[in-house]
Amino acid sequence: MKHINTWQWLGFAGLIPFVVLSLLAFNHSLLSAEHVLLGFISYSAIILSFMAGALWGKAVVTVLDDNIAKLLIISNVIAIGCWVALLTPFELSALILLLSGYVYLLYVEFRSTQIATTARYMTLRTVLTSVVAICHVVVMLSLYQ
């Protein structure tokens, strides 16, 4: 039971940089707008790559078939998308790409019958992804202030 509490706690703790940087996106007294955007986009790309890697890890421990191969490819495509988001000079494009990656990854996890996930895990993933999505929208809106 203790490990369940740990992964839940770590999931929510991972939201702290998203929320803090989203709030700082409208207040540049501590960090400049450029630093906030760089921090948010880079943190988002790292976390999304990590989550895609977790999908890879889940896929390789199951019986390999064509659907598992698709999950492995999806995992790699999401990671490459994160890299592209880090390279683009257009912050809005990077934010949209990353947000799309989070939503798509959650969709893939819901649709995948090969990956054994508990309802508790999927509930947590849905809550975390929702907060992350809201933070991305907030940062997008800050670009137009």
113 versus 26: the higher-pLDDT residue is: 26
Model confidence, pTM: 0.90
- Taking the C-alpha atoms of residue 49 and residue 124, their distance in angstroms, rounded to an integer, is 18
Exposure letters 80-115 (e unless 16+ CB within 10 A, then b): ebbeebbeeeebeebbebbbbbbebbbebbeebeeb
Check pLDDT > 90 for residue 71: no
Percentage of residues in the chain having pLDDT higher than 70? 90
pLDDT tens digits, one per residue of 2-12: 556 788 899 99
